[in-house]
Structure 1
């Protein structure tokens, strides 16, 4: 009996094998699936966050909070207004997150942080930073289009129409003027998220078991921490990405991170840098949890442990 039990233990699939040695194509596929799931499910909350972060909005777009914004958008513009621009996210999130997780796994391995039991928070954080720099280079133009379509009174009929009009009016630079602010925001966000997820996973899931609920809970905590810490830079990024829709000349003339930060302070003081923090956390915590749970599930499907068929 003991011998049979020993054999069962010896051949029990090691969940960590899903991470170490998984092929590039498996990481790409899992990352793409996770990215699309993360951004689409929580998209309405992201739309509300953008509305609350816009500085000097029109009187028709003044909201008292998340619930008030959702109610007004649905009543005045229709329920579909909460989903305007979602196709831009679907188009960009797949390839961007594929690169994101593939870069993370590669960097984590290169930095010697593949251990299932040892903590390597700084190496994991560095791997997360590398991942976000690569993915944001792909995602930034799609993010600009998304936010241009989310603002009140957006004049664009579709994602393609938005891309054409922004290019004609402001040139290619409009799609990347927010990239430095995005990088400065997403590198600490990714560092906090990956380090927290890896550390909490080792604490609460020491046996590396496949547990979607636990993955999502740990991912949500990690994402919420990162979201709260990086909200000020997200406000600056939103200003730069939506500057072309503003009637305020100070906003329209912003060309960089520090100029945008000065305008935020001039219009709202230090409180301006916390605009949209609540919906950002409400959005990022569950969406990050969904992302990690989806990623772990997809990795198990595309790269099952040795001796176990795809689930």
Structure 2
């Protein structure tokens, strides 16, 4: 199998840079919705059945603006941006590398992989990415759930990383890693669905996918994966938000606590703003990613 033309010297580097660019645009655009979603996930109060997800989202949004101003909606932007850039860059790099390896093993080009192989490639890439990026997500979660005026508020990304390491050690930086690894199934399901739909359209003679089709496939695959795997995000947020070495509940104890005190619906707190966020976020991410990928391939220097 011949190597594809590349802009940065290797196709996997092209995909990594495209992923980083897509993550930057998406994160800067949708930071406020991400903050509201995280605060809802971290909320441990028991809600009545009459509470509505979007209604609670609006109350959180309004509260942040009233107490901290519009600037409060962008608290934690640095770790969020760093986490997303690192995650998407690494994810697409490893995802494409693993697909190429599988393609060489099959003796075919990687666009002809099966749905199962896409699933495996996405799972492996997701696990590797999660191991690298987890400390960034811990800082992001804690900055999202505290105001700037709070006594234990982190001043920024590096202050947060140092503070966690000093008070909680390496284990503190990897809180929420286990449910995060469970969450690899989210990316696996999403990419399996996305790649399968894209392959189905590309196999149609004379097909030239346009941005609307990319957005439709990206949104459909994201909603499918989100609904299937959302509870792990709530559990991970709660684990990451626990401060101090002696006050943390275990994964099992926390899961039981959520179910006993908040019912099954507790595992879907923040789903409303998350769906609202992921639809435009995923569309932006994948359209920018596909555009950059095609640009790099069309202007290959190697």
User: TM-score, normalised on structure 2?
Assistant: 0.83
Q: 1:202 to 1:264 in 2, by over 3 A?
A: same
Q: Partners in 1 of 2:198 and 2:280 — Cα distance?
A: 17
Alignment of 1:261-276 (within 5 A): 261-276=255-270
SS of alignment partner, residue 96 of structure 1: helix
Tell me the equivalent position of 2:50: none
Residue 167 of structure 1, CA deviation: 2.1
**RMSD of the alignment, in Å?**
2.7
Residue 126 of structure 1, CA deviation: 0.9
Tell me the equivalent position of 2:145: 151
Q: Partners in 1 of 2:145 and 2:157 — Cα distance?
A: 14
Tell me the equivalent position of 2:160: 162
Specify which structure has the bigger relative contact order, considering alpha-carbon pairs within 8 angstroms and separated by 6 or more residues: 2
SS of alignment partner, residue 228 of structure 2: helix
Q: Would you say the 8 A contact 2:214–2:286 is kept in 1?
A: yes
Contiguous gaps of at least 5 residues in structure 1: 1-15
User: TM-score, normalised on structure 1?
Assistant: 0.80
Runs of 4+ off more than 6 Å: none
Tell me the equivalent position of 1:303: 297
Q: Would you say the 8 A contact 2:5–2:300 is kept in 1?
A: no
Is 1:56 equivalent to 2:47 in the alignment?
Answer: no
Q: Would you say the 8 A contact 1:222–1:285 is kept in 2?
A: no
Is 1:27 equivalent to 2:23 in the alignment?
Answer: no
- The number of residue pairs the alignment matches comes to 278
Residue 190 of structure 1, CA deviation: 1.0
Q: Partners in 2 of 1:119 and 1:126 — Cα distance?
A: 11
Q: Would you say the 8 A contact 2:99–2:110 is kept in 1?
A: no
Contiguous gaps of at least 5 residues in structure 2: 47-52
Residue 242 of structure 1, CA deviation: 0.6
Q: 1:147 to 1:208 in 2, by over 3 A?
A: farther
Q: Which has the larger radius of gyration?
A: 1
Residue 141 of structure 1, CA deviation: 0.8
Q: Partners in 2 of 1:17 and 1:200 — Cα distance?
A: 24
Q: Partners in 2 of 1:235 and 1:297 — Cα distance?
A: 32
Residue 49 of structure 1, CA deviation: 0.6
Q: Partners in 2 of 1:56 and 1:98 — Cα distance?
A: 33
Question: Which of 63, 70, 73 lines up with 1:82 in the alignment?
Answer: 73
Question: Which of 150, 155, 179 lines up with 1:181 in the alignment?
Answer: 179
Q: 1:208 to 1:143 in 2, by over 3 A?
A: farther
Residue 169 of structure 1, CA deviation: 2.0
Q: Would you say the 8 A contact 1:125–1:191 is kept in 2?
A: yes
